[in-house]
């Protein structure tokens, strides 16, 4: 069984993953309207991945005898001044998620819940990859600036960017 504190923490996290999925979905939609096909596919795919992160948490909570609570998620910001602002938002969001995973790890040690500690290792690896990838993309976007030719090539290249 999960302790009450762990259950609350895991539910909060699964709702954050759901929020991530919605955030990337809204970004993908915004980018699609701007005509960046590669970036839009990347963001739609990422939205799907975040949904998988949410599902993994739901199934773990259920397996451990907990009760899942789903929040209503509202993404208010759906426009961006530029791709740079969008990827800054994305990178900041991933850093916040990493911090939250770290706090959850600390909590699982305090509660002596080593099953949850072990389960969360997958998220630790995932966050290292996601932070690295989003920082790499942001660096490239900053380097390109407003150069239309550079953005065109970046939009073609992004399909080759993978998590390591």
Q: Residues in the site for ligand FEO, rule: CB under 6 A?
A: 17, 20, 50, 53, 94, 97, 130
Please say which residue, 50 or 155, places its beta carbon nearer to ligand FEO: 50
Closest residue to ligand FEO, based on beta-carbon distance: 53
**Residue reference for tokens 């690295």:** 132
Minimum CB distance to ligand FEO, residue 96 (Å): 9
From residue 101, alpha-carbon distances to 12, 17, 71, 131, 157 in Å are 11, 11, 19, 13, 30
Of 26, 41, 27, 21, nearest in space to 155 by CA: 41
Minimum CB distance to ligand FEO, residue 4 (Å): 24
Please say which residue, 3 or 98, places its beta carbon nearer to ligand FEO: 98
Gyration radius of the chain's alpha carbons: 17
Minimum CB distance to ligand FEO, residue 90 (Å): 9
């Amino acid at each position: 069984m999960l302790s009450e504190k762990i259950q609350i923490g895991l539910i909060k996290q699964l709702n954050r993953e759901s929020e991530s999925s919605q955030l990337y979905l809204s970004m993908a939609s915004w980018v699609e309207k701007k005509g960046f096909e590669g970036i839009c596919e990347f963001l739609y795919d990422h939205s799907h991945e975040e949904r998988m992160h949410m599902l993994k948490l739901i199934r773990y909570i259920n397996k451990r005898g907990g009760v899942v609570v789903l929040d209503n998620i509202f993404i208010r910001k759906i426009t961006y001044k530029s791709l740079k602002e969008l990827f800054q938002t994305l990178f900041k969001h991933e850093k916040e998620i990493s911090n939250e995973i770290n706090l959850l790890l600390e909590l699982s040690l305090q509660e002596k819940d080593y099953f949850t500690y072990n389960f969360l290792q997958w998220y630790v690896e995932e966050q290292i990859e996601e932070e690295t990838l989003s920082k790499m993309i942001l660096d490239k976007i900053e380097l390109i600036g407003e150069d239309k030719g550079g953005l065109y090539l970046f939009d073609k290249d992004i399909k080759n960017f993978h998590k390591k």
